[in-house]
Amino acid sequence: MLPKLPREKLLDLCRRMFVIRHFEETLVGLYDKGVFGGHYHLYCGQEATGVAALSCLRADDYLFTTHRNHGHLLARGVDPKRLFAEILGRVDGLNKGKGGSFHSVAPSLGFLHSSGVVAGIIPLSTGTAYASKALKNGRLTVCLFGDGSLEEGAAPEAFNHASLLKLPVLFLCENNGKYGAGRATGAAQSTTMAAYPLTELPKAYKVPAQQIDGMDAGLVHATISEAVEKIRRGEGPQFVETQTVRYPGSETNWPTVPKPTDTSLAWDVSGVPEKAREWYRSCDPVLIYVRELVDGKQATKEEISAIERQVKAEIAAAAEFAVASPYPKPEEAETGYFA
Amino acid sequence: MRELAYYEAKFEALDEIMSADERVHLINGTFLSLSPHRHVYQNLQKKFAERMVAPPISELGFCGLAIGAAMAGLRPIVDLSTGSFIYEAWPQVANEAANAYSMSGGQTKVPVVFHLFHGLRGGGAAQHSGSPQSMLWNVPGLEIVIPSSPRDVKGLLKTAAASDNPTIFVDHTRLLDVRGEVPENDKPIPFGVADIKRKGSDVTLIATSYTVQVCLKVAADLAKEKIDIEVVDPRTLVPFDLATILASIDKTHRVVIADETHQSCGVAAEIAARIAESGFDKLKAPIRRVSTLDVPVPYSPPLEEHIGPNEKRIGAAVRAAVA
């Protein structure tokens, strides 16, 4: 379902989903061409969670994220030029090339630190929440992580602290194991987590926890809005697990793009390779959202195509900017490790 | 001049730090381990109750909490108590705190202090006698402070609390009762400035933490044998004041390094390497190290005494250096 928001806001969410999707697909192309060689993980398939959830936040809230951070940064409005440049290790990157894909930050948008250790951010998120409570500034922290993060011991320790100290933090687990490769549908974590469903773990520490469909932007928006309100009222931490997919379906960390996304795929998948058709037809959260916009008479196909064309041009220009950006001077490696 | 016990100087510093800056919060512990003086901590608890947290036994979690709080504008001081417990928090200290400023391209500061008691404490056995400072020295991005006197603990703790970087504050329970001069309104001691604890002309004896006190006794003893020892205390490992050490070697031409970290890849090993690289031509004898032997720390008193940088081993190394 569509989030209960005015039309302009609904179209803005659509635009942000396109930004993420086209950014990631362009990134795959740059990697395939050998423009960069570092690690990267894609957010494709999780747009409905990221865009809808982050739209519920205040501009000064804190966010922590990990491997699939591009989507969160872009959903929050980071400049795609500078994110591309960071992933390419260029001087115009968000972190001047010192962090790369795993560690991209944007303090002005609330991203102070992104970690490549999956549960590393969970204790940190209790820390910013502790500071907000001490400083009485009303800032909330959202900690975004995948299902694998719960396997590390840092997670339960942090849930315990957040619960005991009633900290203003939202633990948002994007479980992208739905349709996971080699795992039974809907039961992916039963092989790695004895605390299953995953909500059992925070609940053991008296952190209220719920599980929802992360492909449904309306449901995500309603659930996160409510959780955020409770936290702001001083009720302490909340945990939400959204079930999402990896793109496309269950590809590996370095995926191929069967066909670059285009709004026309929302209605016609005949040009797509057979094995990927079902994904575009029923799983892709961006195309689900596009169909809902049209079916709900919030926008015409033409209007949506126009937004997408604009986003594609912006992303193409951003990639061009990053490719043209120089590498930092080698001596820069020896500087800037102490404030 | 006014004289204080080490523990009194330390608590005076904590009190002054917390009174001056509301952003300072104390996370966990008593900052005095299980010493008989731990009651003085209750005075702080009464005064600053709202800025003190007693979290569950979860070093990984509460160090992470302190690091996150530092990122968001507080200046937490975390007590890990026994130094070996920092191994339980390693992912947060070494992987998150130490890297955040550099990885963010200088955008995220992490002004957190990790306080811990290292070393041989008398019956601590292997898990409560660790000296993790040499391992921490192997992690770029951490400042490492290691005081040895009442005046130093006060001055260095104030600088650590004011630092914008993650700082490891390495303390030693055997220092708590050491008495020494601490002037009223003493200035904070800057990092990276070594201190000559005793002037001498025959041999430069470099020592850290409680071993400085041991070396001062050795120096007094060997003075009777007409060996004039200069005791140099680097006070901080990161940043490290090599210049003061080289200036001392210019005078003595002989070096002994005594320190409680294990011998292999230890503090003495790193200091010896730096002297060999930059001051080899000043030396008239090989550099000698007195470190803790490369074994897990045993419990029984004579065994523990045997492996550490004790007076006997340090004295023998000094005599060999000047022979």
Q: What chain A residue is nearest to B105 in terms of C-alpha separation?
A: A95
Catalytic site residue from B59, B143, B230, B260: B59
Summarize pLDDT for A256-267 with one digit per residue, the tens: 677 889 999 999
- For the cut 70, the answer to whether the pLDDT of residue B204 exceeds it is yes
Q: What is the pLDDT confidence band of residue B38, given thresholds at 50, 70 and 90?
A: confident
| Average pLDDT score over residue span A195-203 | 93
What is the rounded distance in angstroms from the CA atom of residue A57 to the CA atom of residue B55?
29
What is the rounded distance in angstroms from the CA atom of residue B83 to the CA atom of residue A78?
41
Whether the CB of B242 is below 8 Å from some CB of chain A: the reply is: no
Q: B193 in the Ramachandran plot: left (φ > 0), alpha (ψ -120 to 50) or beta?
A: beta
What is the rounded distance in angstroms from the CA atom of residue B155 to the CA atom of residue B151?
6
3-class DSSP assignment, residue A157:
helix
Q: How many residues does chain B have?
A: 323
- For the cut 50, the answer to whether the pLDDT of residue B17 exceeds it is yes
What pLDDT is recorded for position A283?
Answer: 85
- For the cut 80, the answer to whether the pLDDT of residue A339 exceeds it is yes
How many angstroms away from the CA of B55 is the closest CA of chain A?
7
What is the rounded distance in angstroms from the CA atom of residue B257 to the CA atom of residue B207?
6
Residue at token pair 């500034």:
A137
Mutation target vs A (from B103, B142, B236; most A CBs, 10 A cutoff): B103
- Dihedral pair phi/psi, residue B182, rounded to 5°: -135, 100
DSSP state of A179: T
Q: Name B288's bridge partners.
A: B256
Q: Name B258's bridge partners.
A: B207, B290
With contact defined as beta carbons under 8 Å apart, do A309 and A21 qualify?
A: no
- For the cut 70, the answer to whether the pLDDT of residue B283 exceeds it is yes
Please name which of A237, A181, A232 lies closest in space to residue A209, comparing C-alpha atoms. A237
- For the cut 70, the answer to whether the pLDDT of residue A11 exceeds it is yes
Single-letter residue type at B271: I
| Average pLDDT score over residue span A110-121 | 96
What pLDDT is recorded for position B133?
Answer: 98
Burial (Cβ within 10 Å: 0-12, 13-18, ≥19) of residue B80: buried
Summarize pLDDT for A215-257 with one digit per residue, the tens: 999 999 999 999 999 999 999 999 999 998 876 544 554 466 7
Q: What percent of chain B lies above the pLDDT cut of 70?
A: 100
* B65/A164 CB distance under 8 A: no
Neighbours of A323 (CB within 10 A): 15
| Maximum separation of any 2 CA atoms in chain B, in Å | 59
What pLDDT is recorded for position A117?
Answer: 93
Q: DSSP per residue over B229-285, as a string? A: EEEEE--EEES--HHHHHHHHHHH--EEEEEEEESTT-HHHHHHHHHHHHHGGG-SS
Among A229-238, A319-328, B24-33, the range scoring the smallest mean pLDDT is B24-33
What pLDDT is recorded for position A184?
Answer: 44
What is the rounded distance in angstroms from the CA atom of residue B176 to the CA atom of residue B172?
7
Among A56-65, A146-155, A276-285, B198-207, the range scoring the smallest mean pLDDT is A276-285
What pLDDT is recorded for position A146?
Answer: 92
| Average pLDDT score over residue span B70-92 | 97
How many angstroms away from the CA of A102 is the closest CA of chain B?
10
Please name which of A107, A25, A66 lies closest in space to residue A308, comparing C-alpha atoms. A25
Whether the CB of B65 is below 8 Å from some CB of chain A: the reply is: yes
Please count the CA atoms within 13 angstroms of the CA of A19 that sit on its side-chain side. Answer: 24
Give the H or E element holding residue A172.
strand A169-178
DSSP state of A246: B
Whether the CB of A161 is below 8 Å from some CB of chain B: the reply is: yes
How many angstroms away from the CA of A337 is the closest CA of chain B?
5
Give the H or E element holding residue B79.
strand B77-82
Q: What percent of chain B lies above the pLDDT cut of 90?
A: 94
Q: Mean pLDDT score of chain B, rounded to an integer?
A: 97
What is the rounded distance in angstroms from the CA atom of residue B100 to the CA atom of residue A103?
9
Catalytic site residue from B25, B128, B172, B262: B128
Summarize pLDDT for A178-194 with one digit per residue, the tens: 655 444 444 455 567 88
| Average pLDDT score over residue span B257-278 | 98
Single-letter residue type at B23: R
Burial (Cβ within 10 Å: 0-12, 13-18, ≥19) of residue B87: middle
What pLDDT is recorded for position A182?
Answer: 41
In terms of DSSP bridges, do strands B52-53 and A238-245 run parallel, antiparallel, or are they unpaired?
Answer: unpaired
ipTM: 0.94
Among candidates B71, B74, B164 on the partner chain, residue whose Cβ is nearest the Cβ of A134: B74
| Average pLDDT score over residue span B108-118 | 98
pTM for this predicted structure: 0.95
User: Which residue would you say has higher pLDDT here, A179 or A118?
Assistant: A118
Based on DSSP, count helices (H) and strands (E) in chain A, helices before strands.
11, 6
Whether the CB of B88 is below 8 Å from some CB of chain A: the reply is: no
- For the cut 80, the answer to whether the pLDDT of residue A109 exceeds it is yes
* A123/B60 CB distance under 8 A: yes
Whether the CB of B108 is below 8 Å from some CB of chain A: the reply is: yes
For the question of residue B59 being annotated catalytic, the response is yes
| Average pLDDT score over residue span A135-163 | 96
Interface of A with B in 41-70 (CB under 8 A): 62, 64
For the question of residue B260 being annotated catalytic, the response is no
What pLDDT is recorded for position A249?
Answer: 47
